[in-house]
Amino acid sequence: MRITQTMIYRNLLAGAETLRENIETANQQVSTGKKLNSLADSPSGSAELVDLRAELDCIDQYRENAGSGGFFISLAESVLSSAYNTVTAIYTRGSAGASSLYDDAYRTELANEVRSLRDQLLSLANTEAQGRYIFAGSQVTTAPFAVSGDTVSYQGDLVQNGIDVDNGLQVQQNVAGSTVFSKAFSTVEQLLTALESGDQAATQAALSQFKDALGDISQARAGLGVSLAAIQNAGTEQDSRELAIHERQGKIQDANLAEAISQLQANETALEATFTARMVVGQRSLFDYLA
């Protein structure tokens, strides 16, 4: 090929431009740590990054649900544990009242103790946290249990909220108070009436109801325990999923720094060499030798 002046300079320019572009790309990779600096660098990678970010956002939200929903679940669980103990204590007082060893005066005293324990139970059943009555179903703004005489009535509803703690996994966030406490309250009312009337047979009859009352509480506790365990499992699973997503993100977007730096150096050297070579070659023509 016949080489002409303009070719020499055009090729010099084109070569230097390519090297400068390579340097800029490598430099960008080094300074940002990313090899994906525009959508065009990898269209499918960019789209996948959008998907992965959305997935991470989802995981974050599941964690938030597990944390904030989980708070109410553990709270309910621990309240139910206290409630179980309270009902057991009432049963103990009741059993003493059923004994023929004691007189009516003592039974009245027992009844007063039972009533005070019942009030404790009532306060547990009306537990309020962060502005919501946790055993009220969906009627969270009103105390679910009200007492009139010794009759305790439920004013909440049977609504159970689920919360989403993972893809397709929902857990029960609350238990409706009536399913947990109604039996206990009516049994206690029955016991109080029996104790205060000194009716031992009726007291016995009331005591025989306690098994079911305690059963309701245990069952609710077990349900909440299942929720808590599910949350914990989902959390572990999410941790490993998050790790996998971060790895995938890294694969798509992270620059290989060692490679980028060596690219940077190689191109810089090449650029220098191009200019040096041009100093030697391009400057010369036959005119230099004509006297």
Partner 1 sequence: MSSLFAGLHIGERALQAQQFALETTQRNITNANTPYYSRQRVNFIPGDPIGFGAVAPGGGVIAVSADAFRDRFIDYRVTQELQPKGENDAVLSALDQVEALLNESEGQGLQAVLSDFFSGFSSLANAPEDPSLRSQVLVRAQDLAREFTHVYEGLQSIQTSNDRAVEDTVSEINSTTSAIAELNSRIAQAHGLDSNEEYALRDQRQQMLDKLAGLVDVSYWETESGAVTLTGAGGAMLVVEDNSYKMTAVTQPGTSYLQVLVGGQNITSDISSGKLGGLLKVRDSLIPGYLARLDDMAASLIDKVNTQHALGADLAGQQGGNFFASFTPLIPGSSAGAARSISVAITDPAKIAAAGLTEGPGSNANARLLAGIGDSKILGGGTATLEQYYSDLVFTVGAQARTARDASETQGNILLQLQNQRDSISGVNLDEEAVSIIKYQKAYEASARYITVLNELTEEVLGILG
197 makes contact with partner 1 (CB under 8 A): no
DSSP helix/strand/coil, 150: coil
Beta carbons of 173 and 69 less than 8 angstroms apart: yes
46 makes contact with partner 1 (CB under 8 A): yes
DSSP H helical segments within 126-199, as ranges?
177-197
Pick the stretch among 45-53, 189-197, 206-214, 239-247 that binds partner 1 (CB under 8 A): 45-53
Query: Which of 24, 31, 53, 233 touches partner 1 by CB under 8 A?
Result: 53
141 makes contact with partner 1 (CB under 8 A): yes
Strand 151-154, strand 145-148: pairing: antiparallel
If you ran DSSP here, which 8-state letter would residue 99 be given?
A: S
Residues 116-135 touching partner 1, rule: CB under 8 A, are 130-132
Residue whose entry in the numeric block shows the structure tokens 């553990």: 74
- The rounded distance, in Å, linking the Cα atoms of 42 and 48 is 10
* Least separation in angstroms between CB 179 and partner 1: 16
| C-alpha pair distances (Å), 288 with each of 207, 274, 278, 279, 291 | 122, 22, 16, 14, 8
49 makes contact with partner 1 (CB under 8 A): yes
97: part of which helix (H) or strand (E)?
Answer: helix 43-98
Handedness of CA 237, 60, 244, 53 (dihedral sign): positive
* Least separation in angstroms between CB 288 and partner 1: 9
Residues 4-23 touching partner 1, rule: CB under 8 A, are 4-7, 9-11, 14
1 makes contact with partner 1 (CB under 8 A): yes
* Least separation in angstroms between CB 261 and partner 1: 22
281 makes contact with partner 1 (CB under 8 A): no
* Closer residue to partner 1 in complex, CB, 67/215: 67
Distance between terminal CA atoms of the chain? Answer: 29
* Closer residue to partner 1 in complex, CB, 36/117: 36
Q: Give the orientation angle of helix 177-197 with respect to helix 104-125, to 10 degrees.
A: 170
Residue whose entry in the numeric block shows the structure tokens 């230097």: 16
- The rounded distance, in Å, linking the Cα atoms of 156 and 291 is 112
42 makes contact with partner 1 (CB under 8 A): yes
Residues 56-85 touching partner 1, rule: CB under 8 A, are 57-58, 60-61, 64-65, 68-69, 72
Query: Which of 159, 229, 257, 273 touches partner 1 by CB under 8 A?
Result: 159
Query: Which of 99, 116, 119, 162 touches partner 1 by CB under 8 A?
Result: 162
* Least separation in angstroms between CB 175 and partner 1: 13
Q: What are phi and psi of 168, to 5 degrees?
A: 70, 10
- The rounded distance, in Å, linking the Cα atoms of 134 and 160 is 11
**Which residue ranges make up the site for partner 1 (CB under 8 A)?**
1-7, 9-11, 14, 36-44, 46-51, 53-54, 57-58, 60-61, 64-65, 68-69, 72, 130-132, 136-141, 156-157, 159, 161-164, 170, 173-174, 285-287, 290
